[in-house]
Structure 1
Amino acid sequence: MPTEAITFPGHSGDTLAARLDLPNGPVLATALFAHCFTCSKDIPAARRIAGRLAAMGIAVLRFDFTGLGHSDGEFANTSFSSNVADLIAAAQYLAGRDMAPALLVGHSLGGAAVLRARAGIPTIKGVVTLGAPFDPGHVSHHFDAALPEIRAKGQAEVCLGGRPFVITRDFVEDISAAALAPVIAELNAALLVMHAPRDDTVSIDNAADIFTAAKHPKSFVTLDNADHLISRSEDSEYAAELIATWAGRYIDLTPPAPPPGAPEGVLRVTEADPEGFLQDIQSGPHHHAYADEPLAYGGTNRGMSPYGFVSAGLGACTSMTIRMYARRKGWQFDSVSVDVCHDKVHAQDALPSGPAKIDQFIRVIRICGTLDAEQRAKLLEIADKCPVHRTLAHSSKVTTTLKEEHPMM
């Protein structure tokens, strides 16, 4: 996916660093991602979620809050309220590019921030929280030992994630006063709450409180054994897949008219793992799958192989064609299933034409129901006329062009 490195002014005028992850095709909607407390826009969970949403046509802006990551400003001068103001500033920047956000996604304290920021971003239709605290003051447990010094001296330096940060009395007072229950009750947007039961940083009780305070439409999904940072790739991919699927129910992702000669539009395959073979497959805004290779061939086995998809196309088309013909004839049966095996065989095994190998698909059709021999014979004949079978049985022409893309700076 193309990524544009951008900057925009934050709540106090400081320059904030951001990445805008763009779809390879048209932008159907835009999302805004808020990272966790003292984290950055580039944590693995943010990258994976942004990539998955971009694959379905949703551009994602993820940025570093004031004083964090590559953004300007002093962290000591920020607060929960300033994070909310930065989110509203980011939304205004996007609106200035005719990309007003429809979706907010927030992780940990960023989740609390998107709940508060929603009221200041009128275009939002959906809000997603991941491991978010119901009480923003919850983050003070990270520096409990320093609270007496902060209250007495006005500030203290604390170590968070191996890095020094100055926490001020204003910051502590701001998060302590940030009650979320009233804003959640008036969210006026669909809400998806995601949380891991074993999260030892923000307990799952927070998710229950957020969910209870919200009005419908609202959904809750467990992240099972994920850690608070959703650092494992399988957990971040699971979260990304769920967010993408859920968002499609509340955001209009109608694509533009397909190009001439392609009535189903463009199916786009994008590399998801440059170190392996995992691929994101997106067919329009609503249909997504993974392709991969088995472990024995260097893949991670998280999706069907390319030949598996070819076999699936043949099996699905065969079953559909049989059912369509039977309906037309008024023939009744309970169900149809199709088993497909793919192999390479020597051409002379099937055709009298030299030693080259060809593809062989062995198809077994099972029809459950009462049909006479003539009907079964006719359905077997019809199976050979399914469009995918005919495509595989005849020569096809594949026209390929190479488009060179340069990374956006």
Structure 2
Amino acid sequence: MKTEKVNFKNKNGDDLSGYLELPFNQDPHNFVLFAHCFTCNKNFFAAKNISRTLAQNGYGVLRFDFTGLGESEGEFSESNFSGNIQDLLAAATYLEQEFKVPSLLIGHSLGGAAVLFAAKQLKSVKAVTTIAAPSTTAHVQHLIQNNVEEIEKNGEAQVNIGGRPFKIKKQFLDDIAKHELKPYLADLKKSILIMHSPQDTIVSIKNAEELYIAARHPKSFISLDGSEHLLSSKEDAFYAGNVIASWASRYLEMPKKEIPESEADVVAGLEKEDAFTTQMKAGNHTFLADEPIKAGGKDYGPTPYQFLSSGLASCTSMTLQMYAKRKKWPLEDVETHVFYSREHSTDCKNCEEKTSKIDTFRREIKLIGDLDEKQKQRLLEIADRCPVHRSLTSETNITTKLI
């Protein structure tokens, strides 16, 4: 995964600062715009962690500071909700000019409302996700409710939001009052995912209900149960990011990896640009094989040796259960744990060199059930009769040819 610092101009000529998260191959299948919460910035935990999780799933994600926040130019007191929408459109233009048009918008809290308005103006956007978003833009007034009267009277006021001082002007209140979200949402014509926590004390989950009712299909709702409004927990943010990545894949154009047709038991296809991420097909099942990140892979699937160990582990468990059922023994559950290593062997009969290593599979079996000691020992013996065990310990012949 790679993070790039980027800058681009908004409609007013202010320089906006952002980070572009890219997948390991630096070739995203889709680009995403992420809008942060009110008075937050691109470095808040939710923005950073969700963006990076999406990048791990092959997306390119631009998260940036709205005008007057973080490292972006401009005066926050002169900005408003309409300005946030314009900043999102400027970010989309930047992506189109430098990379590719965005197809997915994600917004957190008031940023969720902003992406809903921006989405309708971006033809390239096919899907939108809101996280802890209010159902009305005016909801943000509760954060400054003690200062609204002063703002109305004097035209502005210094307010405290999240322990930080901000100057809010009357034009901000006037602007959010102009944006009716629910009627707009009914005519959005984009796929929408609404994510919200029942425990959110800043924007209640009632807002999610109202958004969902106002939206038209295709629409989805995911509960972020246990999380708080800012999604400060890495686990919550990672979960949200992975869910969004999976959900959006149904509505976006995703690259299709062709797995060669074959009458073989297993076929593996690996394109040059995919590093170690290998498309696998066994019978009617498809899956991925890969290498760990530290080895240059993406960790999208088990390693080849983990597949080998998996064959031994699964075959052992199947064999023991089959034997116990035939004997009518009370084996409720069996767990087979396999550890693989290559070890120096002093008793390897066929080793020509002293430094030769031998493949070692260490197998540990947990038997659950009302079994006596004699039955347990017999099952331990039967484990060695598992077909995969026999294949691994017998002389094996591999023939190879080009096709």
Same fold per superposition (TM over 0.5):
yes
Which structure's relative contact order is higher, taking Cα pairs within 8 Å and 6+ residues apart? Answer: 1
Deviation at 1:104, TM superposition (A): 0.2
Q: Distance in 1 between matches of 2:387 and 2:136?
A: 66
The one-letter code sitting in structure 2 at the alignment partner of 1:238 is: Y
2-side partners of 1:34 and 1:17: how far apart? 13
- Which region of structure 1 is more displaced relative to structure 2, 33-42 or 16-25? 16-25
Structure 1 equivalent of residue 41 of structure 2: 40
How far apart, CA to CA, are the structure 2 residues paired with 1:124 and 1:6?
21
Q: Residues 256-286 of structure 1, C-alpha deviation per residue, up to 9 Å, x if partnerless?
A: 889xx982346669xxxxxxxxxxx9979x9
1:184 shift after superposition: 1.2
Asked if the contact 2:2/2:23 (under 8 Å) is kept, the reply is yes
Match of 1:15?
15
1:341 counterpart residue number: 338
Query: Tell me, what secondary structure is at the counterpart of 1:145?
Result: coil
Is the CA contact (8 Å cut-off) linking 1:23 and 1:59 kept in structure 2? Answer: yes
**2:186 counterpart of 1:189:** no
- Using the TM superposition, give the Cα deviation of residue 338 of structure 1 relative to its aligned residue in structure 2, in angstroms: 9.2
The 8 Å contact of residues 315 and 339 in structure 1, kept in 2 or not, is answered as: no
Length-normalised TM-score, structure 2: 0.73
Task: Tell me the SS of whatever aligns to 1:36.
Answer: coil
**In structure 1, the residue corresponding to 2:166 is in which secondary structure?**
strand
Q: Is the 8 A contact 2:127 2:252 kept in 1?
A: yes
In structure 1, the partner of 2:375 is none
Tell me which residue corresponds to 1:134: 135
For 1:200 and 1:291, locate their aligned partners in 2 and report how far apart those are by CA, in whole Å.
39
The Cα of 1:183 is off from its aligned counterpart by 2.0
Contact 2:112 2:129 in 1 (8 A): yes
Secondary structure at 1:113 match in 2: helix
Which consecutive unaligned segments of at least 5 residues does structure 2 have?
260-266, 281-286, 294-298, 319-333, 366-381, 399-403
Corresponding residue SS for 2:100: coil
Give the alignment's TM-score, normalised by structure 1: 0.72
Cα contact 2:289–2:301 (8 A) shared by 1: no
Task: Tell me the distance in 2 between the aligned counterparts of 1:304 and 1:359.
Answer: 25
1:172 equivalenced with 2:170 (yes/no): no
Q: How far is 1:162 from its partner?
A: 1.8
The answer to whether the 8 Å contact 1:311/1:361 transfers is: no
Aligned CA distance change for structure 1 residues 102 and 22 (closer, same or farther; 3 Å): same
Paired position in structure 1 for 2:252: 251
> Is residue 56–residue 282 contact of structure 1 (8 Å, CA) maintained in 2?
no
Shift of 1:255: 5.9
Partner of 1:326: none
Secondary structure class of the residue paired with 2:217: coil
Cross-structure match for 2:60: 59
User: Which residue number in structure 1 is paired with residue 269 of structure 2?
Assistant: 263
- Letter of the structure 1 residue corresponding to residue 187 of structure 2: E
What is the deviation of 1:3?
A: 1.6
- Structure 1 contact 311–342 (Cα < 8 Å) conserved: no
Written as runs of structure 1 = structure 2, the 5 A alignment for 1:52-131 is 52-131=53-132
1:261-312 per-position Cα deviation (integer Å, ceiling 9, x unaligned): 982346669xxxxxxxxxxx9979x9699979xxxxxxxxxx99988x8434
Contact kept in structure 2, 1:318 and 1:383, CA below 8 Å: no
1:123, CA displacement in angstroms? 0.2
Cα pair 1:55 1:282 within 8 Å, conserved:
no
Does the aligned pair in 1 maintain the 2:34–2:106 contact within 8 Å? yes
Find the aligned partners of 1:55 and 1:206 in 2 and give their Cα distance.
30
1:315 equivalent in alignment to 2:310: yes
User: Relative to 1, partners in 2 of residues 1:314 and 1:74: Cα closer, same or farther, differing over 3 Å?
Assistant: same
Q: Is the 8 A contact 2:103 2:125 kept in 1?
A: yes
Cα distance in 2, alignment partners of residues 47 and 384 from structure 1: 49
Query: Distance in 2 between the 1:8 and 1:282 partners?
Result: 37
Q: Does 1:152 align with 2:153?
A: yes
Deviations 1:105-148 (A, max 9, x none): 10000001001111111100110110000111111111111111
User: Secondary structure at the residue paired with 1:120?
Assistant: coil
Take 2:300 and 2:22, find their aligned partners in 1: how far apart are those partners? 26
What is the number of residues matched between the two proteins?
Answer: 339
Hey, what's the Cα distance between the residues in 2 that align with 1:351 and 1:37?
A: 70
- Structure 2 distance, partners of 1:361, 1:156, is 70
CA distance in 2, matches of 1:190, 1:165: 35
Residues 57, 253 of structure 1: 8 Å contact kept: no
- Aligned-partner SS, 2:34: strand
Equivalent residues of 1:109, 1:133 under 8 A apart: yes
Aligned residue in 2 for 1:49: 50
Mapped to 2, the partners of 1:289 and 1:179 lie a distance apart of: 48
- Alpha carbons 2:269, 2:278 under 8 Å: kept: no
Q: CA deviation at 1:46?
A: 1.1
Amino acid at match of 2:244: I
Deviations along 1:71-109, one digit per CA (max 9) or x if unpaired, are 000111111111011101111111112410000010000
Alpha-carbon offset, residue 182 of structure 1: 2.0
Contiguous gaps of at least 5 residues in structure 1: 270-280, 293-302, 324-336, 366-375, 396-409
Q: In structure 2, what is the Cα distance between the partners aligned to 1:204 and 1:137? A: 16
2:218 maps to 1:220: no
Distance between the aligned counterparts of 2:185 and 2:174, measured in 1? 21
Q: 1:241 to 1:174 in 2, by over 3 A?
A: same
CA apart distance, 1:245: 1.2
In 2, the alpha carbon distance for the partners of 1:52 and 1:87 equals: 21
Percentage of identical aligned residues: 39
Amino acid at match of 2:162: G
Task: Look up the equivalent residue of 1:86 and give its one-letter code.
Answer: D
1:210-241 CA distance string (max 9 Å, x none): 11111111111111111111001111111111
Matches within 5 A, 1:228-307: 228-254=229-255, 263-265=269-271
Q: Indicate the residue corresponding to 1:210 in structure 2.
A: 211
